[in-house]
Structure 1
Amino acid sequence: MSDNILIIGATRGLGASLRDLYASKPSTERVFVTTRADKAPESQPRVSWIPNVDLTKPDVGQKLLSQLPSSLYLSTVIINAGYFGFESFDTPDWDKEVQMYTTSAIAPVFIVQQLVKAGAVTKGSKVILVSSESGSITLRHEKEGGGNYGHHASKAALNMVGKLLSLDLRSSGVAVGLVHPGFMRTEMTKSVGFDKYWDAGGAVTPDEAAQSLAVFIDGFDISKTGQYWAPRGPRDIGTAEAVLGADLPTPLQLPW
């Protein structure tokens, strides 16, 4: 049976790498990918672009569903779209925080609800919410200090959203997972000045992160629903050893 994949946020970074990776897999029938733009990028084999999908808008679920084929079954949905607005204690930013919470922790509820109600996500489907190790309260440590309230807290909120979705959807046979895909060398991390940590922090390319995430998704099923994982293990989580100890496994289940 061929797979239909939906990737929310696929124009750059991890989303673009996942798009290309799944489009190249023989087992993939179609990859549906979204963009906020009103015009889709250039087409490529087995990829269908869905424009005007903005995770800051209340009708994001309806806009998405209206552009998907009827009677579509999605084997995997990856909600990857994100926004990182840098903040410090001295410079908190209301608008940035609202955008981060909306994109990370509010929109996924409305997207998944619409897909489930339409029957596109049903028994056997996997819903993967791209979170971050920054959303783990346990892993926050004086080593890294505070700041970036909206980014960290919106990912913690996303983790709760994923846990609640897993409880609502378990009886339907839908598996919901939270993942830290890895510290990546992307325009997003560069835009907030994190490129200075790339080498010391073991940052990888989006292609590398996509490969390890896809392997993890292949093995993910209802037995792991509602859990929070780092497919690449502790290698790029700066506080992992200080908080969790040495000799940690890969993949690594992360603490809330």
Structure 2
Amino acid sequence: MSHILIIGATRGLGASLANLYASSPSNTVYGTTRSPSGPKGLNEKIVWVPNIDVSQEGVGASLVNQLGQLGVAGGMIEGKDEVRGFDIVVITAGYFATEDFTNGPKWAEQVKMYTTSSISPPFIIHSLTRAKLLPKGSKIVLVSSESGSITLRHDKEGGGNYAHHASKTALNMVGKLLSLDLKEHGVVVSIVHPGFMRTEMTKGVGFDKYWDDGGAVTPDEAAKSLIEWTEKLDISKTGEYWAPRGPRDIGTAEVTLGKNLSTPLQLPW
């Protein structure tokens, strides 16, 4: 029986992951939402952790407090059959606002992107660790993007989108550093590009025009690949940056890394 926590489970990849994990009778799935209650239309087995906003200071402490109220404990509680930690934690909450040099960067939007993507994760993981909710053998999956790879940036793509791309680069460093801190505890940290997806987020920034040519997949397809990747994860890959679906949706992969690339593909920083 696996206990799984999805940070950002109300839509897109997070919702698909929560649904797929919850479809297995042996799994108990917890999903965070910024609202007082979870959304309708998802698997009724999902246990919703309300009022969790990753853009707010104190998110880690708030998360642990809410989990405690739901009966999730970090140690053995006499006479009670309670969850004593998570086997898998996926942080997939994200925010994307486009920027270009002509119109200039946007201060508030940049702050929100950095906070959501790369500032909140270490606070969340630190709080879960201190609460003893990440036992030996736990797997942490940080959902990044190929856009966070400096090596993959190329004239073919052009500039702009400063905070989105740079916040993912920062998340990659956060994941690497967390992997060093948690390795002695036997906790795996995997940093992943889950794939270019057909989501409201990518549509909202006008990227739906690239869906077909870019090989975009549905969140359900990306979630299936990510779950398969996570099942095979072990400590040998901790702190590494991978694309479980390979190079198929990374437009600058061949021009920067060459042809005949493997799947899964380890991405360059």
Scaled to the shorter chain, the TM-score interval is over 0.9
Which blocks of at least 5 consecutive residues in structure 2 are unaligned? 75-83
Query: CA–CA distance in 1 between the matches of 2:36 and 2:132?
Result: 26
Pick from 86, 89, 104 the counterpart of residue 77 of structure 1: 89
| Aligned residue pair count | 254
Give the alignment's Cα RMSD to 1 decimal: 1.0
Distance 1:195 1:44, change over 3 A: closer
Q: Please report how far the alpha carbon of residue 211 of structure 1 lies from its aligned counterpart in structure 2 after TM superposition.
A: 0.4
| TM-score, reference length from structure 1 | 0.97
Q: Please report how far the alpha carbon of residue 74 of structure 1 lies from its aligned counterpart in structure 2 after TM superposition.
A: 0.2
Report the equivalent of 2:38.
Answer: 40
Matches within 5 A, 1:196-235: 196-235=209-248
Distance 1:44 1:208, change over 3 A: closer
Asked if 1:236 corresponds to 2:234, the answer is no
Instruction: Give the partner amino acid of 1:74.
Output: F
Asked if 1:106 corresponds to 2:119, the answer is yes
Q: Please report how far the alpha carbon of residue 39 of structure 1 lies from its aligned counterpart in structure 2 after TM superposition.
A: 2.6
Report the equivalent of 1:163.
Answer: 176
Instruction: Give the partner amino acid of 2:111.
Output: V
Query: CA–CA distance in 2 between the matches of 1:25 and 1:252?
Result: 28
Structure 1 segments, 4+ long, off by >6 Å, are none
Query: CA–CA distance in 2 between the matches of 1:241 and 1:159?
Result: 21
Query: CA–CA distance in 1 between the matches of 2:24 and 2:151?
Result: 37
Q: Please report how far the alpha carbon of residue 126 of structure 1 lies from its aligned counterpart in structure 2 after TM superposition.
A: 0.3
Identity %: 64
Report the equivalent of 1:182.
Answer: 195
Report the equivalent of 1:145.
Answer: 158
Secondary structure of 1:67's counterpart equals helix
Query: CA–CA distance in 2 between the matches of 1:176 and 1:159?
Result: 11
Secondary structure of 1:188's counterpart equals helix
**Deviation readout 1:136-175 (Å, 9 max, x if unpaired):** 0000000000000000000000000000000000000000
Secondary structure of 1:129's counterpart equals strand
- Worse-superposed segment, 32-41 or 11-20: 32-41
- Worse-superposed segment, 64-73 or 203-212: 64-73
Instruction: Give the partner amino acid of 2:229.
Output: F
Which blocks of at least 5 consecutive residues in structure 1 are unaligned? none
**Deviation readout 1:87-131 (Å, 9 max, x if unpaired):** 101221011110000000010010000001111112100000000
Contact 2:73 2:85 in 1 (8 A): no
| TM-score, reference length from structure 2 | 0.93
Instruction: Give the partner amino acid of 2:262.
Output: P
Asked if 1:194 corresponds to 2:192, the answer is no
- Worse-superposed segment, 159-168 or 70-79: 70-79
Contact 2:19 2:43 in 1 (8 A): no
Secondary structure of 2:47's counterpart equals strand
